[in-house]
Amino acid sequence: MPVATFPLGPLQTNSYLLHQEGQAIAVDVGGDPAPMLTYLADHKLILAAICLTHRHFDHMYGVAKLSSAHGAPVFISRDDDCLAGTEAADGGIWGFPKVTPFTSQAMPSGTVNWGGMECCILQTPGHTPGGVSLYFPAHSLVFTGDALFYRSIGRSDFPGGDLQTLLRSIKENLFTLPADTIAYPGHGPATSIGDERSNNPFCGDFAE
């Protein structure tokens, strides 16, 4: 299943399109989605869903535009509703612009089928209270948002963040996936679950 990566917006947030048989899913939209719209048109894809890993401004800048262009539903965890009104969720922090509001639906729990692609919603709070990772078992890939990065982990000092919760999320819900699962994080390069389990200095085998 092809995965196209678009680093978008002021924090170069990885925004993803994965697709199969003419249907696509977007994961986070960090800035102007023009390159994503071009990709969708070039590949003649129907956008089945826009899934957000968590409610932080830099993952949402292009959601309103992409959603209205394709009429695709937006899913985000209701456990991040408590962040509404904070600069980390709405924008404005560090002088960055505000996020254009959009309508959304509750991120489902368990296993969902979007556009014929089966996704397991993994709860990975700690960076935010409602952070999720999106696992596609048939394709051995997981989108980890800002929970797990290549050789790093997400910050836990934003509103609602908690380091111990984040470490537990990673160990119990991400490191239990098969080692060859490719992990696509919210920022930076892709990695694999097995690689991070062995080598991540914050939560891998050699971390304290």
In the complex, the residues that contact Zn ion under the rule CB under 5 A are 56, 146
Q: What residue is closest to Zn ion based on CB?
A: 56
Query: Residue 146 or residue 196: which is nearer to Zn ion going by CB?
Result: 146
CB of 128 to Zn ion, least distance (A): 7
Q: Distance between CA 197 and CA 183 in Å, rounded?
A: 12
CA distances from 205 to 164, 175, 178, 194, 195 (A): 16, 11, 16, 10, 10
Q: CB 18 → Zn ion: shortest distance, Å?
A: 20
Q: DSSP label at 98?
A: B
Which is closer to Zn ion, CB of 80 or CB of 146?
146
Q: How far is the CB of 146 from Zn ion (least distance, A)?
A: 4
What is the distance between the alpha carbons of residues 178 and 142, in angstroms, rounded to a whole number? 11
Smallest separation, CB 175 to Zn ion (Å)? 20
Reduced to 3 states (helix: H, G, I; strand: E, B; else coil), residue 63 is: helix
CA angle, residues 157, 161, 167, in degrees to nearest 5: 100
Nearer to Zn ion, 128 or 200 (CB): 128
Judged by beta carbon, residue 115 or residue 185, the one nearer Zn ion is 185
